[in-house]
Amino acid sequence: MPHGIACSFTLPLVIDSVRGIGDFRGAALSRIFDCDLEGASDWLTGLLAGLGVATNPAAYGVGYQEWSEIVADALDGERGRNFIGDKACFIETANAWASETRDGSEPEAIGLS
């Protein structure tokens, strides 16, 4: 998977998982996107879709179990330990994202070289 896609396809998930975080972090994210965090996630999902970047791991051939392991490993890593949100909320949100697409349709597999 290209690095840019690997880094970007989960950004709406990250935004969803920090909704309600409040304080300066939530305010900063709202200022960046010029809307509430729900709107930010939807906007970013649309932007990525327009660029041909799916936001569901299944579109990249990553199954639910493998996705759960990737998320757990990422949260245990150096960057994961610096995550600004609640890790349990992130895991719950990540699992929901892996089990369905944002619009309820089946994820379309994307071939990447």
pLDDT of residue 48: 93
Helix, strand, coil percentages for the chain (3-state, nearest 5): 65, 0, 35
DSSP for residue 73:
H
Q: Which pLDDT tens digit goes with each residue over 67-77?
A: 888 888 888 98
Q: Which pLDDT tens digit goes with each residue over 79-97?
A: 888 887 788 888 888 888 7
**Residue spans of the chain under pLDDT 70:** 100-113
pLDDT of residue 100: 62
CB 55 within 8 A of CB 12: yes
pLDDT of residue 112: 36
Its pTM stands at 0.73
